[in-house]
Amino acid sequence: MKGRLLTNEKLAKYTSWRVGGCADRLYMPLDRADLIEFVAQLPANEPVFWMGLGSNLLIRDGGIRGTVINTKGRLKAMRRTDEGAVYVEAGVPCAHVARFCAEQGLVGAEFLAGIPGTMGGALKMNAGAFGGETWTLVNQVDMLTARGEVIIRSSQDFTVSYRSVKGEDGEWFLSALLQLPEGDTTTSQQKIKGLLEKRAQTQPTNQPSCGSVFKNPEGDFAARLIEQSGLKGYCIGGACVSEKHANFIVNTGKATAANIETLISYVQAKVNEQHGVMLRTEVCMVGVAEE
């Protein structure tokens, strides 16, 4: 192994919410080849969890049993192929993909600038922002199995819907080939700038959050329902519904994962009580509650 293997590592510093217990083991691979080798030697029954920038993720206070693989700052290769596609590994931040595509004179990936995660996470959940969705760009992907085998799959091998992607069990995203039309670099860069300005104006980007907590119900917006329920600014412990954007829950400094999860449940109950809509979570909640 050429990467770093840490034991009983606190995960709060690896998540955008700044909460979460310890991982039994945390592995940070050197590169793609090292990751494949590491996964291949894991016991067959070893639980494996992947994380990138730690956004869209709530790790409970009791932490995660098994092995966590962290791709932040790793699996970061990105290039234009001879055929004109964009090859991007799972650890590349979405914002970097948006900027690279614009520099290459490719259009349609600008929305990725508004997603605070990596391509691996975006592929897993069909992440979207400002009307765009990840899988509209995907041509094919490289998948890694628990045995350390790499399988090439086309986008047609997956069932893709709003914030949901279903493929074969026991496979993880290594990289993707993105196909985009050619356009004007300056126009694309200006669009990215405008989207980032809008994000800064409407979202609490200066406070620890996970991004959007809830999926938008069909034909409506989760933020509107939460705000109409009078929940902006409502707090449980150090976790508060953002005053700036009601679909964000922020850590005001001393929140625990339990505070956040309790607040999520409270918001769901109140919105359902007042509007008859049960909000579904977009955030991925993992790990064990602290005993």
Please write the tens of the pLDDT for every residue from 128-159.
998 999 999 999 999 999 999 999 999 999 99
- pLDDT one-digit tens code per residue, 108-127: 999 999 999 999 999 999 99
Whether residue 291 is contained in a domain is answered as no
Instruction: Report residue 1 as tokens.
Output: 């192994």
Same domain, 58 and 98: no
DSSP class per residue in the chain: --SEEEEEEE-GGGSTT----EEEEEEE-SSHHHHHHHHHTS-TT--EEEESS--SEEE-TT-EEEEEEE-TTSS--EEE-TTS-EEEETTSBHHHHHHHHHHTTB-S-GGGGG--SBHHHHHHHT-EETTEEGGGSEEEEEEEETTS-EEEEEGGGSEEETTEEE--TTEEEEEEEE---B--HHHHHHHHHHHHHHHHHHS-TTS---S--BPPPTTS-HHHHHHHTT-TT-EETTEEE-SS-TT-EEE-SS--HHHHHHHHHHHHHHHHHHHS--PPB-SEEES----
Same domain, 29 and 84: no
Same domain, 41 and 101: no
18 pLDDT more than 80: yes
Reply yes or no on whether 79 is catalytic.
no
Handedness of CA 24, 29, 35, 40 (dihedral sign): negative
Same domain, 95 and 56: no
User: Could you tell me the CA-to-CA distances from 84 to 101, 176, 209, 211 in Å, in that order?
Assistant: 11, 13, 36, 32
How many domains is the chain partitioned into structurally?
Answer: 3
pLDDT of residue 59: 98
Whether residue 178 is contained in a domain is answered as yes
User: Could you tell me the CA-to-CA distances from 54 to 132, 181, 246, 283 in Å, in that order?
Assistant: 21, 30, 21, 11
Burial category of 56 from C-beta neighbours within 10 Å (exposed 0-12, middle 13-18, buried 19 and up): buried
Reply yes or no on whether 153 is catalytic.
no
Residue tagged active-site, from 16, 163, 209, 242: 163
251 pLDDT more than 70: yes
Same domain, 196 and 211: no
Same domain, 82 and 149: yes
- pLDDT one-digit tens code per residue, 155-172: 999 999 999 999 999 999
Same domain, 241 and 183: no
Same domain, 179 and 149: yes
pLDDT of residue 282: 94
Same domain, 256 and 143: no
- Residue that finishes a domain, picked among 145, 169, 201: 201
Residue tagged active-site, from 212, 229, 242, 261: 212
190 pLDDT more than 80: yes
pLDDT of residue 143: 98
Query: Could you give the CA distance from residue 127 to residue 176 in angstroms, rounded to a whole number?
Result: 14
291 pLDDT more than 80: no
Whether residue 21 is contained in a domain is answered as yes
Asked whether the beta carbons of 171 and 145 are under 8 A apart, the reply is: yes
Reply yes or no on whether 80 is catalytic.
no
Same domain, 187 and 214: no
CATH of the domain at 113: 3.30.465.10
- pLDDT one-digit tens code per residue, 34-65: 999 999 999 989 999 999 999 999 999 999 99
- Residue that finishes a domain, picked among 16, 36, 70: 70
CATH of the domain at 281: 3.90.78.10
Same domain, 188 and 237: no
Handedness of CA 167, 50, 134, 141 (dihedral sign): negative
In this prediction, residue 290 has a pLDDT band, given cuts at 50, 70 and 90, of confident
Mean pLDDT of 272-279: 98
pTM of the entire structure? 0.92
- pLDDT one-digit tens code per residue, 214-238: 999 999 999 999 999 999 999 999 9
CATH of the domain at 49: 3.30.43.10
Same domain, 56 and 170: no
Asked whether the beta carbons of 95 and 115 are under 8 A apart, the reply is: yes
pLDDT of residue 1: 80
pLDDT of residue 22: 97
- Residue-range definition of the domain harbouring residue 33: 4-70
pLDDT of residue 80: 97
- Residue that finishes a domain, picked among 15, 36, 70: 70
15 pLDDT more than 80: yes
- pLDDT one-digit tens code per residue, 256-268: 999 999 999 999 9
Whether residue 164 is contained in a domain is answered as yes
pLDDT of residue 279: 98
Residue tagged active-site, from 9, 89, 261, 282: 282
Query: Could you give the CA distance from residue 35 to residue 75 in angstroms, rounded to a whole number?
Result: 9
